[in-house]
Structure 1
Amino acid sequence: MNDLSVGSFSVGALDIPTMDTSQLARAIGFQHVDGVLGTEIFHQCVLTLDAARGQVTLQEEDQFRPAADAIPIPFSLDENDMPVIKASVAGIAAMFQIDTGDRFSLTLFGDFWRAHRLDQQMGATIEAMTGYGGGGPIRGRVGRSAGFSIGDLAVPAPVTRLSLQKAGAFTRADRAGSIGMGILKRFTVSFDYGHRVMWLSKSAEFDAPDLYDRSGMWLGLSQPRGLRVMDVTANGPAAKAGIRVGDVIVKVGALPAEAATLFRIRAMLQQPRRLTVPILVSRTGGDQPISLVLQDLIPPWQRNP
């Protein structure tokens, strides 16, 4: 490619790999995605993510000034130029990768959580499809961490995935896990690759509850209409209501089930005060109404003491 530009910032000519993102887009629910920005940008500037404002800022290194309340977190870079930092879970210090492409809050890799028996410290957990990556569906046991800190900064009880993957990045033994956007969105985050420092400044959303699905199903895009059920949690609300993998849902509450409403529907199915949601499922012979009774599948969020 002759040039890659983000706003007025130009990276210049690059050799760029190609990949088919259609399955990923359907599973996650992206209406449109052309590609993924990589570390070439991070190496040429200081990149700041402000999820609360939906804003990315690129600055020359000598122009960057961290916020007065920002906390510096040193990092190293692995062979893929992914930042790796020291953090602690349940009082156990370990190394964690920072993955801005991961929508989940906290993922603990298999070797680490099994070695420390962290599944026994998380209360109730469920096994479910928790996302979708380049290798396909990501399965894990989901619960809520007994405690998580970056440096001296305690992060409010994050939803935590105990990886069940048998291959891929989540099986690495040289680190404990991955910190995703579910945690990073609580901050304004600046990556200074030149100085190997990540700056964290609490946003207004820092103490917002970290909610998790209460429906027991994963919805992705379907053709020609509706949302396809890609996973159903055993003994969860969807399973009890007779919803099956492969079903196509055409309406959730008052919302038509489609690409434009998928993220709003996921948020609706997380709401702690919502008891039931009417759902319309497309079945042979016509659309079938179902009343979905929501329930907490993992321990509810509680504010840090």
Structure 2
Amino acid sequence: MPLSTSRIHGLALACLGLFPALAMAASTGGDATASLQELRQAYGGDHWNTIGSLLLDGRQTSDGLTGELHTAVDLRTGYYASRQRNAVFASADGYDEAGRWHQDISVLVHPYDSDEAKAVAISESWLRRFGFLRTDDTHFNPLPDAYENDRRYIRLEATPHGGRSITLWIDSATHRLDRAMWKSSFLTVTQRYSDYRDVAGLQLPFDVRTSATTNSGTQDGDEQETVERYQALPAVPAQALQRPDGTVRDVSMLHGASRAVSPMQLEGGALLIHVSINGKGPMPFILDTGGHAILTDDAAKKLGLTSTGKGVSTGSGPGSMTTAYTQVQHLTIGDADVKDLTFLVMPYPYSFYERGTREPIAGILGLEIFERFAVTFDYDKQQLILQPFDHGQAPAEGEGSPVTLRFTDDMPLVSASLDGKQGMFGVDTGNSGYTLVFPQWAEREGLATRYLKGVPVSGGGVGGSFVSRFSHARSLQLGDQQVSPALAQLTPPDAGATGNPTEAGNIGQDVLARFTVHFDYRRQRMYLQSREVASHWQYATAGLRANRSAEQRDRLKVSWVVPDSPAAAAGLKQGDEIVAVNGKPAAEISSYDLRDEVNHREEGAPLSLTLADGRILTMRLRDIAPR
């Protein structure tokens, strides 16, 4: 289940606040008061009283790429805009009266407007304006001192009003901030400050390094910002905080079309569409609301594309995967053509993209499509419909039940109710399975005990494999739509984005494929319309997982057998090699096809597996998840 690539962009600590005489919060303890007074003096004291904005120019290095950095901050409001451009792409982040916004390699802009994103944005803004030097809207809680490399650090937990708690590490020798640490979604962000220099009586850091780790301890991005010049001004210059206008200028509609229609299909739960890259193809891609434009290493080589940079991506699973970047001149879906897109290149394993004797999956498409088009998934007609936002007539409102979309990062989130408990769920067309339930939310809502009794099943994604527990949900309410039946898949707490403590879970194709689904990111709406033919997945399963390797393409190797499942009862074991399924040679069957044969079937469906050692195992599928 591909999920969105998660990385930290533009969190440079680049500014100080507008400071009257130091005002302490009533809740600030005596020890914190003394530390904060020393901190203020170390940064220049009263020199800050007449400054209304800070500008900086410098360089940013991230994912092996270095480019220009320009940041402006209004110290009165905390609003800011930070813009970066390297040899491959431009990106930007900002915070204004409309809220937090983000522009990444997709070129276009979307909001960060979930409750989680709003809290993090307040704290990011607080750090950017050195809010710890103006403490009237902040609660401070002294923490025990820490020692590292023979240095003592005074630690304060600071909570800006409405924001996320931040741990400040203050160097006891210099009384300046050494680092700040805070939680953001499933990540812990650490920002380190060094190379302090005098700028007109102010002490400012000229080196800022930001890193993040997942809840499993995996590194997720590392960037350095090197400041070359600061400017301290009475007010922020006009237009300095202007966000990009978001108009789509890189879409062409061929043959005078007002919309593009392209075939799509579900294969093992994966939603595939057919795309041409630089005139070559069409080739299959997974269309993933939780993803970005990604090419597999294998596809990039076949297309003759060179890549640059070296980064890291995390997603579902406890680990990570390396990334690089390449440029695609033309991406064509039906009559829609998008020009000059940046793609990630990632070393997905052979088992991810192989399709037996059919053309392999070339990669993933995600945010780049949904920011440019209103997108309709018509499962009845097996068609994808793209209506461009800024080319000709604007897309009309969708039909069916509207559901509001919010964003913490790139994946859309909706408010839904699972077994009577409300939470924010990702809507993930790249989730080829069931409704994921994140353990921290389940524990808070009193659902964990029941879900932990579910059947253990191996799964995974970008971050590697993990074991979930499956059980039947009693109810799932999405907007005014009641979804039944549905499976709940409880993930482990250290499974990266699929163990996100700030969200309830992730809704995938098990639910979405029951509707005609229309995504309209401009209106921040998803529309669910009942299908012409009622459809939902069956939940009988054989209880096995198997994948193909590039070295042995004529067989599928069993990696997991569910205890007490039909496969286990028939004698199948981990490491067994399947050479035929229901009499069809395994060489002609992809790992995705196998999922359809051994899952999503009706109770009692027959299954025959021929193994490499000559055994033929027969079984009947059954629902093994507890209700």
In structure 2, distance between residues paired with 1:27 and 1:232? 22
Q: Is 1:282 matched with 2:612? A: yes
Residue 167 of structure 1 deviates from its aligned partner by 3.2
Q: Is 1:71 matched with 2:401? A: yes
* Residue among 535, 543, 555 paired with 1:226: 555
* Residue among 572, 581, 588 paired with 1:252: 581
**Which TM-score applies when normalising by structure 2?**
0.44
Q: Is 1:107 matched with 2:436? A: yes
In structure 2, distance between residues paired with 1:272 and 1:263? 18
Higher strand content, 1 or 2:
2
Q: Is 1:93 matched with 2:422? A: yes
Q: CA RMSD in A?
A: 2.6
* Residue among 288, 294, 298 paired with 2:621: 294
SS in 1 for 2:498: helix
In structure 1, distance between residues paired with 2:437 and 2:529? 24
Residue 76 of structure 1 deviates from its aligned partner by 1.2
SS in 2 for 1:16: strand
SS in 1 for 2:361: coil
- Contact 1:49 1:55 (C-alpha < 8 Å) held by counterparts: yes
In structure 1, distance between residues paired with 2:419 and 2:354? 32
Percent of aligned positions that are identical = 27
Q: Is 1:199 matched with 2:523? A: no
Residue 44 of structure 1 deviates from its aligned partner by 1.2
Q: Which protein has the larger Cα radius of gyration, Structure 1 or Structure 2?
A: 2
Q: Residue in 2 aligned with 1:133? A: 461
| Cα deviation 1:8-45 (Å, max 9, x = unaligned) | 21222122211022345268978511111121111111
SS in 2 for 1:231: strand
Residue 243 of structure 1 deviates from its aligned partner by 1.4
Q: Residue in 2 aligned with 1:14? A: 341
How many residue pairs get matched? 293
Q: Residue in 1 aligned with 2:479? A: 151
**Which TM-score applies when normalising by structure 1?**
0.86
Q: Residue in 1 aligned with 2:198? A: none
Q: Residue in 1 aligned with 2:368? A: 40
SS in 1 for 2:568: helix
SS in 1 for 2:363: coil
* Residue among 179, 197, 200 paired with 2:507: 179
Q: Residue in 1 aligned with 2:541? A: 214
Q: Residue in 1 aligned with 2:488? A: 160
Residue 298 of structure 1 deviates from its aligned partner by 1.6
Residue 119 of structure 1 deviates from its aligned partner by 4.3
* Residue among 222, 238, 248 paired with 2:567: 238
- Contact 2:402 2:479 (C-alpha < 8 Å) held by counterparts: no
Give the direction of change, closer, same or farther, for the CA distance of 1:72–1:209 in structure 2 (3 Å limit): closer
In structure 2, distance between residues paired with 1:75 and 1:293? 41
Q: Residue in 1 aligned with 2:385? A: 57
Gaps of 5+ in 1: 301-305
Give the direction of change, closer, same or farther, for the CA distance of 1:4–1:294 in structure 2 (3 Å limit): closer
- Contact 2:455 2:626 (C-alpha < 8 Å) held by counterparts: no
SS in 1 for 2:440: helix
In structure 2, distance between residues paired with 1:143 and 1:238? 18
In structure 2, distance between residues paired with 1:213 and 1:17? 37
Code of the residue aligned with 2:395 in structure 1: it is F
In structure 1, distance between residues paired with 2:531 and 2:571? 41
Gaps of 5+ in 2: 1-326
Give the direction of change, closer, same or farther, for the CA distance of 1:138–1:47 in structure 2 (3 Å limit): farther
In structure 1, distance between residues paired with 2:380 and 2:548? 26
Residue 241 of structure 1 deviates from its aligned partner by 2.4
- Contact 2:541 2:621 (C-alpha < 8 Å) held by counterparts: yes
SS in 2 for 1:14: strand
Residue 4 of structure 1 deviates from its aligned partner by 2.3
In structure 1, distance between residues paired with 2:558 and 2:363? 25
In structure 2, distance between residues paired with 1:138 and 1:214? 19
